[in-house]
Structure 1
Amino acid sequence: MTNLNRRDLLKQTAFASALYLTASSPVRAHSANSKLNLAFIGVGGRGNANLRTITAESDVEVVAVCDVNQHSLERAAKTHANARSYVDFRELYNKTDDIDGVVVSTPEHIHAYATLPALKAGKHVYCEKPLTWNVEESRIITEAAAKADVATQMGTQIHGMPNYRRVVELIQSNAIGPVREVHVWVSRAWGLQSAEDAKKNGDIVHVTERPTEKMTPPPELNWDLWLGPAPYRPFNTAYFPGPKWYRWWDFGNGTMSDLGSHWNDLPFWALKLDAPLTIEAFGPEPHPEIAPASMSAVYEYGSRGEMPACTVHWHQGANKPEIWKAGGIPQWGNGVLFIGDDGMVLSDYGKHILLPEDKFQNFEPPKPFIPDSPGHHAEWVQACKTGSETGSPFSYAGPLTEANHLGNVAFRAGKKLEWDAANMKATNCPEADQFLKRTPREGWSLS
């Protein structure tokens, strides 16, 4: 299947297994009967939603709020009058004695920098998806979380919904036989595209090159802190407000890292995937500044226990699987298709079907064996207090995030990658190194 020899395969499998050892390990709990004191980094947009949802849980106290946007910060501070307010989260970490956990809801290029200090301080962490901005950051956060022994959760809320659990049960109970092929497709096309396609897709902005116009940031925004570790560039409305920044490589990774966190989560969970052996991507000529609107990627995974080797195909934007284009399956706008030896399972966020439908007309699904979640946020709060498990701990979310990033790395490098997970290196493609990590701007560090 690949040019990796048996020694490399065994080493990679052992490494992936080591990463997953902490997934079911009990974490150091807070106290089920005392208040959970939380700090929120990023309280606008998604962060505001997280703030409202998590504080709806019983016995949660907000002790600190932080945002680079003064309007968002003032709104949060008004609601939580006893909380300390910060613009720079690095100052928030100067006083952590009364903080039990941290919720990170910043743009993705900030995630690792806001998360790592919390882990090092032994604080529980909830971080929005994708967990990090690049592969190296994913590895750093995954390893730091394992050492911290705290409750962690990546914000993939759909992971906590019943539908994904029922699909995982179908796949893992062998309802369609061994699965050797999976297709994931999403219709979102945030990235580099023509003006005509942007209009057709209802896109939020049509930009094909880095803007040269220097604009004055709005007075409520600290632009330098918003940039964080990313290379400096003048403010422009092409980047802010969100989600415009998603498409720019310096701040996000386009549709792949964003929606890959949700849609690739299902096969990653159901098939017990770990580190891919090879990754290849297809699409337009890579742009140095902007992620693609449409692209595809193919991941090859080795066998996992009794599960056979398999390929996972990612289709984004205008791209769809051949079986979808031929009308061989229902043409859902977004979906995950598992192809087994004895049938298929097609799923989206909220529903799934077994195919061909006539074959499974009288099929009795397995008795549920994955307990329903109390809610993705509630799961994390409960884990902080009791040491229970979360559905998407960093021991799981880290490798998932790495895999998603590798699709973009293969796309940008323009070559099929042979991946040495243990050494975090594409052995056949040294030019991929530049996309795995970066040197942060002066004043920012993950050391």
Structure 2
Amino acid sequence: MADLLLELGHLDLVVEAAGERGEWFCALAAVRDLCGAEDYERAWSVIEPFAVTGWKPAVTKAAEVRFRMGRVEEALALVRPDEPVTEGREWRDCALMLAKAGRLDEAIDALAPHLEDWWLQSTLVELTEGEDRDERVLELLAPLAQGGRQAAANGEWNHPGWQALDLQARVLERAGRVEEAIRLLGADVAGRRYLVQNTVESYAALLARHGRIEELRELGTGEHATAALEHYTKALEDLDRDHEAETVLREIIEATDHSNHRSTLVGLLARQGRIDEAVEVGRPTFEYYDCGNHLDWAVDLLVEDGRPEQALQLLEERSEEYLKEHAYQVQSMRLSLLAEAGRHEEAIAEATALPAEEYWDRDTTIAYLLKGAGRVDEAVSLLQSSTESRAPLYLAELLIKQGRPAEAIAALPLPSVQRGQEARARRHTEPNPFD
């Protein structure tokens, strides 16, 4: 809502909502726009009431504003962790600020004792990008990477160096030592000296970036196909060798029937505009009960291609068992497709006939359909009387777009009310340990 209000030029209302209602997201959005306009004093007046509470996200944002004002030491004081430091990642914001202030060596020194935290490993690599500190970073990553290799060899899967192998190769690559990066990471993959599949994907991406198609082919069509095949076929596609990519994918789908490979082929065909073929490739998954189900994707492709009626047909073809198990999902999709097909009144009638106790967002859905049919006043009236949790959000959006921003903000429950609602919902849904 804050972003929409700002997009339509209602900065003063967003600032007011941040101050009077305590709306954090309004504060964030207002500070972003005010800093973009170099109105730092006003940005500080918006963020300061949140920062004085000591809440970490607000303090961090306040430090950014102070930094933009040129008050670097004050900014650093805000993000420097208090002693005793209980978690190394408490140093992250301070390190990022030091780097931004041109004090990169201090930033590295702040992170160095805490690099068993994977997030800080990534932070170290990111903040030193293009800063001529690659050798220092490699020195710090080396023991973590070696520890990860040894842990994998020993069957220990919780070592903190699980991503250090990937990061080590990334730093070698950016330092111009591409052959070394490929050789080192390739040996780790070949010897299974890695802890997560991300390492195989990183190696495949590295090969693709440097045109090592033959090595990528061996990786992508062998035992690591699950992680690397998509990189191989995308590399072929980028070389205008689409037919080869398609052939490889169809062969491996025929052999394995792996849904991930189907996804890759669906994407390839869709990018070529071969929508019907893409839908047919996904069809065998349409009644899967997990994330390998491509039905939603097929529906989206057909809608984007201007064929919602054909998408509706896909829903009608589903088995009775699938329809029963996924009643809410299928019904919601059907209503949306009816609207896409211009059959608004039919969709509204179907939605209105749904039992409210079985569809928690029935009112919001009906309002969405009414709006699509041009009956905005009816949509607003319905949402104003609704008790559904999402109704105030959609009502606010409608009011803003109607040029009634002040009413829109007033329609939203205060943050304190929302927190109370969430707490009550948790009490009703969480099991009682004393039962």
Q: TM-score range by the shorter chain?
A: under 0.3
Q: Mark the structure with the bigger radius of gyration.
A: 2
Q: Given the two structures, how large is their TM-score scaled by the length of structure 2?
A: 0.22
- Report 1 or 2 for greater relative contact order, CA contacts < 8 Å, sequence distance ≥ 6: 1
More strand by share: 1
Q: Given the two structures, how large is their TM-score scaled by the length of structure 1?
A: 0.21
More helix by share: 2
